[in-house]
Structure 1
């Protein structure tokens, strides 16, 4: 029996693959330093945990509305108004089982076979695969490292065809950590409006911004852009709730309704107690978010200079998220490897340091290094990488 073509052609997640290999080595007793997984190393704030437990004890363990609890959608709408000045009714918001599921549901509701989605590279590994699963065609546009890996309006216009339906903007970015300014977003948005493209704005890292930077949404730039944008967000990164699986989409009512109808036949609804925890995240938790953000900022400042001092390594300094995305191509050539993937594999086998090769993000000269781990682990990992480079030079 053959598998369906839609899954037979999927590319496995490189982030999950490297994490699994690192865990396997660790289980064998090796001292593995894993810098691959994209989740905060802080526990979920206690207030959120208590709110979810109280909800369960109060009997909130049943089905909810397919689009999420009205109370949670109201909390999300209030968050949009407070943080970004954006007004959404609760029927313009759908709560999903994580931001990844929100994206998946969006593409399933949006795309017909052959319709195109423009995806700037480097990109988060699941974007192209989710577009393909919906029958769409991912159109990858390489954003220049010299331009901090940001898509330009000219690139967007040149990549668009009569079949193009949408463009994805991820700011702050996974894997690069770079962030678009309001002016850059407005220019991209005006081009998208001219081309009549839906803008998919992935803002999951919006709370993790450093050195006085300010996150801006493309939907903030004008009412026309708000009406042409679907914002994807969630509590996973901002509140260290990756395992709770609560994300959401906000956008045009007709599209949110279509996504809700689709979700009603797939997940039924997000987990009820987790939704109550997410209400607490937006209504009660502020101090813990800032504590976590400051810790990530401190780690970035401490390890960035060490990283770019490594032979053959350059790196655009991130403005947000918790990733470094160095270009290691010169180090790879200096060490005699044929590809970054081979270099990363040898580094894991010899020095037990797990990085994610950039090939999975559409950027084969780079690697992704997560600093969502302790400073001691980060500094030891950089020492081992230095030793690995020296030993192979």
Structure 2
């Protein structure tokens, strides 16, 4: 039967309840209910990305078999410790945990063990790993993903949004069980456990020393004075965004800051007249932006156009700058891809592209033990070391014997 003729899957329907917990007494009752349930606890959080400056949680959803669903407003309750005490020692099921763990920890919630259904789906070789796709494949239900990008800081939260939020956790226990069976069938149970433990232990990278360099398109600036102006405009916008708890791009988009930095306008009025300087705060905060422009132009600390880094350059430059590393990289990539194909998983989940690049850029002894030690120094898990160290070492030996010509090395 053609795929278009396959019967449509039934749509998932949220079970609830949908009352949002907003006071300590209700929170304790919800915690008691969750503690009385059985099995892992499904957890999710909704943020207001693109609307607010912070990435904090505005709704926390929890579901456990025998307990039903709990929806908590973490902005209305200062202390969520009753929840942590009730379920902190249980396995938590989270889809794409790296997105939710930081904001959950911020409100005092953290699991002892983790099962990440998104990460598990990647390890199992699923082509589509979004929650809706995983639910369709493993649970046989369709999910409507229509409110994920909503402003979850809005109050009251509409009923339709709450139903959407509840479904995000209600489908997880069944998805987790089916995915665990699939991983076991593929012989990847130990791999998954190591990856889940690493995801739980991993912490976000420290803030960049010069976060203003994340301004989109900043590479187009070739003048240090203009770069100083861009820096001051970014810092001024960031201060306003923090003060008003508004996503910076909603005040003035990156492209407008970049245009203002490169325009060399000579008067505040000329800045206001520019059609490429847009955003809800582009005119109401005109004095702020003009002050930033003047500060950048007057600054005696003009930033460097290029930033020194211990990271390897982009691989497209390797052939001219360090051809032997270019050959090593192409051989190593081919070796890693071959192993990934054998394991039926994306190469980036077998070994991060950055790790492969760093191994190829910095010459090491081309033995399995030396490669294994280098991998461990870069946080490779035991299963990754076992799967790739010997193959990468062999690839490096081959690279050393190869002519540094792209036509002679694996792609």
TM-score (ref. length: structure 2): 0.24
TM-score (ref. length: structure 1): 0.24
Structure showing greater radius of gyration is 2
Q: Which has the higher contact order (CA 8 A, sep 6+)?
A: 1
Q: Which has the higher strand share?
A: 1
Q: Which has the higher helix share?
A: 2
